[in-house]
């Protein structure tokens, strides 16, 4: 099954109506060089004026952010592991750090369920919330297979990473990628990033880091491949990532056959709600 809602999609921006779109852009987050400094979290907040998210010690290693949410668009997870030494006696500590972010899915359920047209695909094939349109219905919140997008308590609207849409439109790097001290977060054309990621993966495998793997780079996965993908050093669950995410609107086309003109009605709804906010 391959169509606008599921499976590989060669030109994501074109599918969203951009006939002259630039190359698809994304993030490659190489967690093997992440030092857990959280510069990405702060740089994101400074650029996007995201409010603080409360001052609570979680007790989850050095992670006091907890999870992605309306006021956390980058989240660095810290995983402490103790493993037997490969050579000799005793055990070694391993401290995994990984900066999570919105995946900017090829098939983005948040976007597909958004009744107001607040969530859109950009010409860079990224997914952004148009805060001037969002009415806070929160359909997107439950649709996201990663639990990324969320509603902010105070204004009720949904928020998430925009891949710094305003910056990349001006040819700049997203704030998190620019700040990242070790280039763990890399931004660029997705094809290039995927190439780079495979080279890095091969190098790590050669070094004997056999547990290294890519996450979200595969077009054939449940979201048609992510615009933001990762190199991990353990199972995704270890980092709090779903092992096999599937776009929650996978079955939408089948439903349409039954629903007839529902699509048009939905589109009309988009327009009405759009006008309603003017």
Partner 1 sequence: MAECHPVGFQWVMEAKARGARIFHIDPRFTRTSAMAHRHLPIRAGSDIVLLGALINHVLSGGHDFREYVLRYTNASVILSEDFQDTEDLDGLFSGYDAESSSYDPETWAYAGGEQEAPAAGARDEQQKGDDPDKGTGRPPGPIRQEHGPGATYEATSSQTGHADERDETLRHPRCVYQVLKRHFARYTPELVEQVCGIAPEDFAELADAVVANSGRDRTTAWVYSVGWTQHTVGAQYIRTASILQLLLGNIGRPGGGILALRGHASIQGSTDIPTLFNLLPGYLPMPYAHHHEDLDTYLERAAGDTGFWGRKRSFMVSLLKAWWGDAATEENDFCFDYLPRLTGDHGTYTTVLDQIDGKVKGYFLLGENPAVGSASGRLQRLGLAALDWLVVRDLQLIESATFWKNSPEIETGELTPEGIGTEVFFLPAASHVEKDGTFTNTQRLLQWHHKAIEPPDDARSDLWFIYHLGLRIRERLAGSADPVDRPVLDLTWDYPEEGPYHDPSAEAVLREINGYDADGTVLSGFTALKDDGSTSCGCWIYSGCYTDGVNQTARRKPGSEQSWVAPEWGWAWPSNRRILYNRASADPQGRPWSERKAYVWWDGEQWTGHDVPDFEKTKPPSYEPPPDATAEAALAGTDPFIMQTDGKAWLFVPRGLVDGPLPAHYEPHESPVPNLLYKQQGNPVRQTFQRPGNRYGPVGSDVYPYVFTTYRLTEHHTAGGMSRFLPYLSELQPEMFCEVSPELAAERGLVHGDWATVISARTAIEARVLVTDRVRPLRIQGRVIHQIGLPYHWGSAGAVRGDSVNDLLPIVLDANTHIQESKAATCDIRPGRRPQGPALRALVRRYRRMAGIPED
Partner 2 sequence: MGIDSWPVIRQLTGTDPLGRGRAARTSRTDALRARTESADRVVDSVCPYCAVGCGQKVYVSGEKVVQIEGDPNSPISRGRLCPKGSASKQLVTSPTRQTRVLYRRPYATEWEPLDLDEAMDMIADRVLAARREGWQDTFEDKPVRRTMGFASLGGATLDNEENYLIKKLWTALGAIQIENQARI
- For partner 1, the binding residues (CB under 8 A) are 33, 35-39, 41-42, 45-46, 51-57, 59, 61-62, 64-65, 80, 82, 88, 90-91, 93-97, 181-183
User: Looking at 4, 61, 64, 135, which residue binds partner 2 (CB under 8 A)?
Assistant: 4
Smallest CA-to-CA distance from 156 within 118, 128, 201 is with: 118
What is the H or E stretch that residue 231 is in?
A: strand 228-232
Pattern of binders to partner 2 over 172-201, x per CB under 8 A? x--x--xxxx--------------------
Angle at 147 between CA 209 and CA 24, to 5 degrees: 70
Distance CA 153, CA 78 (A): 26
> What SS3 class is residue 197?
helix
Q: How far apart are CA 48 and CA 44, in angstroms?
A: 6
Residues numbered 46 to 65 that lie near partner 2 (CB under 8 A) are: 46-47
Say which entry of partner 2, partner 1, none residue 139 contacts (CB below 5 to 8 A, set by partner kind): none
110 binds partner 2 (CB under 8 A): no
254 in contact with partner 2 (CB under 8 A): no
* Closest distance of CB 274 from partner 2, Å: 5
CA 82 to chain centre: 29
Burial track 224-260 (b if 16+ CB lie within 10 A, e otherwise): bbbbbbbbbbbebebbbbeeebebbbbebeeeeeeee
Under the rule (CB under 8 A), what is the footprint of partner 2? Answer: 4, 13-19, 37-39, 41-43, 46-47, 111-112, 117, 119-123, 128, 130, 132-133, 164-167, 169-170, 172, 175, 178-181, 263, 267-268, 270-271, 274-275
């Amino acid at each position: 099954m391959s169509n606008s809602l599921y499976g590989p999609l060669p030109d994501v921006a074109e599918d969203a109506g951009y006939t002259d779109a630039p190359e698809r852009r994304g993030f490659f987050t190489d967690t093997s060089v992440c030092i857990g400094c959280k510069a990405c979290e702060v740089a994101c907040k400074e650029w996007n004026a995201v409010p603080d998210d409360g001052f609570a010690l979680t007790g989850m290693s050095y992670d006091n952010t907890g999870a992605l949410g309306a006021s956390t668009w980058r989240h660095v997870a810290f995983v402490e592991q103790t493993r037997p030494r490969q050579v000799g006696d005793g055990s070694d500590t391993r401290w995994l750090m990984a900066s999570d972010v919105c995946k900017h899915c090829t098939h983005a359920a948040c976007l597909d369920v958004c009744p107001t047209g607040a969530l859109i695909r950009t010409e860079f094939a990224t997914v952004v919330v148009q805060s001037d349109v969002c009415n806070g219905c929160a359909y997107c919140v439950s649709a996201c297979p990663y639990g990324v997008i969320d509603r902010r308590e105070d204004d009720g609207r949904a928020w998430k990473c925009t891949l710094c849409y305003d910056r990349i439109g001006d040819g700049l790097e997203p704030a998190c990628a620019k700040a990242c001290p070790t280039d763990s977060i890399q931004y660029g054309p997705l094809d290039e990033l995927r190439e780079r990621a495979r080279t890095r993966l091969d190098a790590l495998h050669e070094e004997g880091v056999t547990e290294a793997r890519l996450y979200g780079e595969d077009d054939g996965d449940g979201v048609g491949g992510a615009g933001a993908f990762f190199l991990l050093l353990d199972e995704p669950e270890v980092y709090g990532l779903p092992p096999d995410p599937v776009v929650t609107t996978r079955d939408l086309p089948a439903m349409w056959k039954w629903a007839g003109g529902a699509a048009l009605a939905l589109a009309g709804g988009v327009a009405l709600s759009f006008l309603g906010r003017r």
